[in-house]
Amino acid sequence: MAPQIDRREPAEVGAGSDEGCPPTGDDGSLHFGTLPHSTRPRRNGRPLKAVEFNVTIPGYVLARSLGRISDAFIYGRASQLRLAERTPPSMPGADWVRIEVDLCGICGSDLGNISYRSSPAMEPFGSFPAVLGHEILGRVVEAGPGVTHVEVGDRVVVDPMLHCEARGWGAGAWCRSCAAGRHATCEKAAEQGPAGSDREGLAPGSTIGYHRDLPGGWGEQMIAHRRQVFPVPDAIPDRVAVLAEPLSIGVHGVLGSRAFQARGPVLVIGSGAIAFATVWALRTLGYGGRVVAQVKRPHEVALAESLGANETVAPGDEARQALIDTGASAYMPVVGDEVYAGGGFEVVFDCVGSRASVSQALRYASPRGRVVVLGCAGQLRKLDLTFLWARELRIEGFVGYGTERWNGRAQHTFEIVLERMAAGPGALADLVTHIFPLKQYRDALRAAYDHRRSEAIKVALAPGSG
């Protein structure tokens, strides 16, 4: 029997055992497999519900003055989030599709932005108020006449980052990055798009989910340019398909750094979705060497191993031992942290972006090794860069996805990920640990933020479930 979406009031969710209702967790999250699309109510132009976020200067000031009390900003009283009723977005042109959102993940960058912990450096590349959500799985409900690769009813995932073409620029006016298939670094992201004959240009913004004119996936409905939309093969379950965006970040980092060709061992630091995506990407792209995953909790150990890690270590002594096992020797300077010589990891993926993780990556990399920054590192105080030059390291950063050269073909990162997912979802299904209806977005954010208690890896909202 197909599971049904729980339509009881939030206070009741998780309390009952009505036949046909999905089992619910202690936190009220829904646990179901494929979503029952056929049970969707029809929407006859009624307002659509969505979770909106606004960036305000008082918000920045208050967050900075309160320091580490960020839970209040994420799901508490100080939050600049609200469940809004919005008119459906209008289609900017013939090349756009309208999508009803089935699932949308909560990203660490969402928590960072909501709590104002992210660096303000990226603020000009968004526009607010915005409906959040950039890890989007949905169904096409309308396709413009210029769209040929998907049709109404198709299940799709969305590359949320905007190409110059989606902003409305003709091919001759595309920026260098977009012309080269690297739209994640679009150089016009802070500019208003060109105005059409009957409409204003699109607001600035690099990404759907941080864009005033293009609502993200924490809402019932959104629109996307045809370039951004990828059909999902039937073999991929919803709770795996919704991971296309974060998995693409791991694949883009592994392909961009050529880590899949490394000869030495690789260390992946972090226990968020991007870290697991990186472990998966290393294996699915053919890296055959030793992968050490630095994670903290038992369920993370099991997940990292099932995705292909040879060894899992806790931060601290266990991680140090893994470094020593590569042949490194430890030395103690007169003051400061222990340092190492010999051995080391050829590639270290930092999927955290903190001072501690970047510092560890610099000390654990082998001479001429690479530190790949996939975590959203911002302002890091007292970071010691000594080993950057003393070990001739390279630090590389990657963002998003784009056109990859892989297996002799030019493919979008999402296409590679969808192919690999269809070949065998395997342990990927275990990454989505919690699914909440939209109206319980604060509970969802609490589960994502307080992941030590909730044991969340990826939390998703199901906007179609009420």
Closer residue to Zn ion in complex, CB, 277/328: 277
| CB nearer Zn ion, residue 328 or residue 399 | 399
Provide the minimum distance between the beta carbon of 107 and Zn ion in the complex, in angstroms, as a whole number.
3
Q: How far is the CB of 353 from Zn ion (least distance, A)?
A: 12
> Is the torsion defined by CA of 420, 422, 423, 427 positive or negative?
positive
Is the Cβ of residue 120 or residue 298 nearer to Zn ion in the bound state?
A: 120
Q: Could you tell me whether strands 394-397 and 403-406 are parallel, antiparallel, or unpaired per DSSP bridges? A: unpaired
CA dihedral 278, 282, 283, 288 (to 10 degrees): -150
User: What is the number of the residue whose Cβ is closest to Zn ion?
Assistant: 107
| Exposure letters 9-46 (e unless 16+ CB within 10 A, then b) | eeeebbeeeeeebbebbebbbbebeebeeeebeeeeee
For the CB of residue 134, give the shortest distance to Zn ion in the complex, in Å. Answer: 6
Q: Which is nearer to Zn ion, 357 or 359 (CB)?
A: 357
Give backbone dihedrals phi and psi of 238, rounded to 5 degrees, phi first.
Answer: -55, -45
Q: Smallest Cα–Cα separation from 234: which of 97, 419, 104, 422?
A: 422
Among the listed residues 431, 436, 299, the one whose alpha carbon sits nearest the alpha carbon of residue 24: 436
* φ/ψ (deg, to 5) at 240: -95, -45
* Residue 185 or 310 having the CB closest to Zn ion: 185
Measured from the CB of residue 315, what is the shortest distance to Zn ion in angstroms?
Answer: 23
Enter the tokens of residue 90: 């209008």
Place of tokens 């006016």: 173
CB of 298 to Zn ion, least distance (A): 26
Nearer to Zn ion, 70 or 109 (CB): 109
Q: Which two tokens stand for residue 335?
A: 């003051």
Which residues in this chain contact Zn ion in the complex, by CB under 5 A? Answer: 107, 109, 164, 175, 178, 186, 188
Minimum Å gap between C-beta 249 and Zn ion is 7
Residues 412, 163: contact at Cβ < 8 Å? no
For Zn ion, the closer of residues 202 and 393 by Cβ is 202
Q: Name, in order, each residue with C-beta under 8 angstroms of 73's C-beta and a sequence gap of 6 or more.
A: 59, 63, 66, 79, 80, 114, 115, 116
Burial (CB < 10 A; 0-12, 13-18, 19+), residue 104, is buried
Half-sphere exposure of 164 (CA within 13 A, CB side): 18
At its nearest, how many Å lie between Zn ion and the CB of residue 371?
21
Closest separation in Å from C-beta 158 to Zn ion: 12
Nearer to Zn ion, 51 or 328 (CB): 51
For Zn ion, the closer of residues 109 and 228 by Cβ is 109
CA–centroid distance for 254 within its chain: 15
CB of 182 to Zn ion, least distance (A): 9
